[in-house]
Structure 1
């Protein structure tokens, strides 16, 4: 598989319209190639993808049911997984870090920006959870070829 081209790295802040802060990267490869690269990078870390949530499909399937005519995504998935070693480490510091588990990486192609795939994850708080953030950032960077 050819390397994914990283075109932009951005941290979305207050302008993220009431969404939590996140770290995201843009790739110019097709959605399916980027999604495969994300899943491969997770597995490459010795981790198991617990679940793939097909958020884009669900939102499109239910769009009319909730009274909307706006198509949000061409495709959008969230890959959830956990790391026993990293999770134990951060939860030994504070057992309430359980609130952040499992970890998720999203891959999305916005309907109004076809051909542009965004890969990212939510930011984690300072302290022990920065180890999780570094793990996710490494996985995403690997997936986008950086």
Structure 2
């Protein structure tokens, strides 16, 4: 009975992490950020915002009672493509939940010489076109295009 309760509790629990597409590089955080900004702008897109997630988590670490440093640096870039967004939302207006699109760049203290760039994997169907856009941008940012 205990095992059944544990299984049911796991099924009811929210997912802790989404599937993500990531690429690793030995390039510096600043170089990858510059590459990402350039790759977004080169496609005629506008960066809506940059969330300095790493700074926020470090700034609030003590306030929430933690001594864990999660990131050396971590930013999330948000942007949108009017043409592609309209295309996927005309298929299903609920695709609004994926907009704006985000690409993150991070360096973890446990791997200070590795910069990771990535984005969340998107569902099958029309959103795979958006995922291809994100993939192209992430690869261009680190010179894999």
Whether these two folds match at TM > 0.5 is yes
Structure 2 match to 1:118: 116
Q: Give the number of aligned pairs.
A: 130
Structure 2 match to 1:56: 54
Q: CA RMSD in A?
A: 0.9
Q: 1:25 aligns with which of 20, 23, 27?
A: 23
Q: State how far apart, in whole Å, the 2-side matches of 1:33 and 1:143 are.
A: 9
Runs of 4+ aligned structure 1 residues displaced above 2 Å come to none
Deviations 1:120-140 (A, max 9, x none): 000000000001000000000
- The correspondence of residues 60-139 of structure 1 with structure 2, limited to 5 A, is 60-139=58-137
- Alignment TM-score, normalising by the size of structure 1: 0.87
Q: Greater share of helix residues, 1 or 2? A: 2
Structure 2 match to 1:42: 40
Deviations 1:91-119 (A, max 9, x none): 00001000000000000001111011000
- Runs of 5+ in structure 2 lacking a partner? 1-14
Counterpart contact for 1:72–1:112, Cα < 8 Å: no
Q: State how far apart, in whole Å, the 1-side matches of 2:110 and 2:101 are.
A: 27
Q: Greater share of strand residues, 1 or 2? A: 1
Structure 2 match to 1:12: none
